[in-house]
Homo-oligomer: A and B are copies of this chain.
Amino acid sequence: MTGRDGGAVLTPIAGSPVVILVRPQLADNIGSVARCMANGGLFHLRLVSPRDGWPQDRAWRTASGADAILEAVTVFDSVGAAVADLHRVYATCPRPRHIIKPVLTARAGAADIREAASRDLSCGILFGPERTGLDSDDMAAADTWIRYPLNPEFDSLNLAQAVMVMAYEWWTAAEPTPGRRMQMHKTEVATKGELDGLLDHLIDQLDACGFLRNAPKRPGMVRNLRHLFERGEITEQEVRTLRGVVTGLALGRRRLGRLEDLEPTLEE
């Protein structure tokens, strides 16, 4: 979907947290952040003292159409002002600090924000400047810290990546899609009857060509073939294709001669 200026039509989702970039340095990063926010369904973006001022054309170039988020940006001159209307403030925290404070993973943080929003509490998440991260005063403005589980040997995250992880977790926290599903589109899974028809056809032809001539091995070989075809969901179309394959091979066989070489591939 695109808006009148080519940007995507994006609207705030109720309960979505505010992303607050504290002293961001590069406008490119602000644009990338907007794109990540759109990916995860976030909308509200606040900037505290952006180094190069605001607005900056470069942000629109990296936002890839998340223009609506950039158009709605508000700018503040302190963290205190940026969080004054919020009930709960989270700070993304790359390093441990000498203070006691609840620290959540990104996933638990996302669940926490969802829970707070269900009680009509508005939430914001602070992200620090590119090189240095949030300073001690910024961290003190937050009631909860969020620390991503990541490789401790290499835990310096690009600003947009940091926002991406939170936006992704926020979206995922309410995503009903099951972890595993079958892609179904213009196709139908074959019934067991259709599959049996295929197997009967195949076994008839294998009997005819002598492939199953070893009587003691035959039941196991037939069972293995069945297991193979039951392993995935086969579609109606695929059953039709496979029946054609069997027929084609059976007709071609007359030219092929001996089949013993194929046999071991079907044994356990």
**Contacting residues of chain A (216-262) with chain B, CB-CB under 8 angstroms:** 232-233, 235, 238
| Cα distance, A157 to B187, chains bound together (Å) | 28
| Cα distance, A112 to B153, chains bound together (Å) | 24
List residues of chain B with CB within 8 A of the CB of A154: 8, 10, 38-39, 65-66
B185 A98 Cβ-Cβ under 8 A: yes
Question: Does A175 belong to the interface (CB within 8 Å)?
Answer: yes
23 A-B pairs, CB-CB below 8 angstroms? A8-B153, A36-B158, A39-B161, A40-B151, A41-B150, A96-B185, A98-B185, A98-B186, A100-B187, A103-B183, A105-B172, A105-B175, A105-B177, A105-B179, A108-B179, A148-B168, A149-B172, A150-B168, A158-B160, A160-B161, A161-B164, A164-B165, A165-B165
Chain A residues close to B by CB (< 8 Å): 1, 8-10, 32, 35-36, 38-41, 64-66, 96-108, 111-112, 145, 148-151, 153-158, 160-161, 164-165, 168, 171-172, 175, 177-187, 189, 232-233, 235, 238
